[in-house]
Structure 1
Amino acid sequence: MQDFKLNSSAKDVSSYIASCPVTVQEVLEKLRSTILKAAPEAEETISYKMPAFKYYGMLVYFAAYKNHIGFYATPTGHKEFEKELAPYKQGKGSVQFPLNQPLPFSLVAKIVKFRAQENLVNFQNKKKAKK
């Protein structure tokens, strides 16, 4: 598998997923539906050449790589779920879910819900500060 995050020229999430190997497409579709179920009002887009979801700001991103799915929920999203994410390779605001293991979809849903609430509160606080 190529490094799809860096080489993808997809204009939307469906095209991005379709550009990935068939063996990965099913996992990406389930990840996508998990995110949208956890944040039904989130808007899909492509940002930094990878699928991204917006809800009162950027919510989460994901990308397919040769051996893993990169999941990006910003540093706050990862800090909040530090214990649950401990088994996975991480960077600041990123986590790698190996393709040879089941993805933790219920954990992804919890992270997305946390990030959606965080974005909403931040938006409301900014709105109050302007008044």
Structure 2
Amino acid sequence: MWQCTDCKREFKKTNQDHFCGEPPKTIDAYIAAQTEEVQPLLNQVRDTLRATLPNAEERIAWSMPTYWRKQNIVHFAAFKKHMGLYPGDKAVAHFSDRLTEYKTSKGAIQFPYNKPLPLLLIAEIAKWSYDTGKHD
């Protein structure tokens, strides 16, 4: 087991990415806690999701910005080298042919910071997730 020297939480993986400290209570607070380089990218994603999902509620779930309407629709989060989008495994499978240049796993997509964010694709994924209700 590895223990974070800052928050003292224990993880199976050494140097596991995680959020130290008190989880943010708002999306504004989440974005403000990120590096200055990443904040504009997160705001772009937030603006895209707000425009795409006008009836969804913004909230923090699993310590991540989340869009919710009767259930979670999509989450996003900042990491050292990428922004993660979490629309669920069915959305990742549905859009798999358009995600070949990105690293994916069950329910997650990694958009590296060294490439432009595909905001139109992010919007399509979020809308599909909202319209179909397939968020798991």
Structure 1 position 88 matched with structure 2 position 102? yes
Q: How many residues align?
A: 118
1:33 aligns with 2:43: no
Structure 2 residue 16 is matched with structure 1 residue 6: no
In structure 1, the partner of 2:84 is 70
Map 1:38-57 to 2 at 5 A.
38-57=52-71
TM-score normalized by structure 1? 0.85
In the TM superposition, what whole-angstrom CA distance separates every residue of 1:67-107 from its partner, at most 9, and x where no partner exists?
00011000111111111111100110001000111010000
> 3-state SS of the aligned residue for 1:32?
helix
Normalized per residue, which structure has more helix?
Answer: 1
The 5-angstrom pairing of residues 90-129 of structure 1 reads 90-119=104-133
Query: Partner of 2:4 in structure 1?
Result: none
* Mapped partners of 2:95, 2:48: distance in 1: 17
Secondary structure of the structure 2 residue equivalent to 1:40: coil
- In structure 2, runs of 5+ residues without a counterpart are 1-16
In the TM superposition, residue 7 of structure 1 has moved relative to its aligned partner by 2.6
Q: Which runs of 5+ in 1 are unaligned?
A: 123-131
Identity %: 36
* Alignment correspondent of 1:128: none
Give the AA of the match of 1:43. E
Q: Which amino acid in 1 is paired with 2:49?
A: I
* TM-score under structure 2 length normalisation: 0.82
Most deviating of 5-14 and 27-36? 5-14
SS in 1 for 2:111: strand
Post-superposition Cα deviations, 1:3-48, rounded to whole Å, max 9, x if no partner, equal: 4x53362111000000001110000001001011111111011111
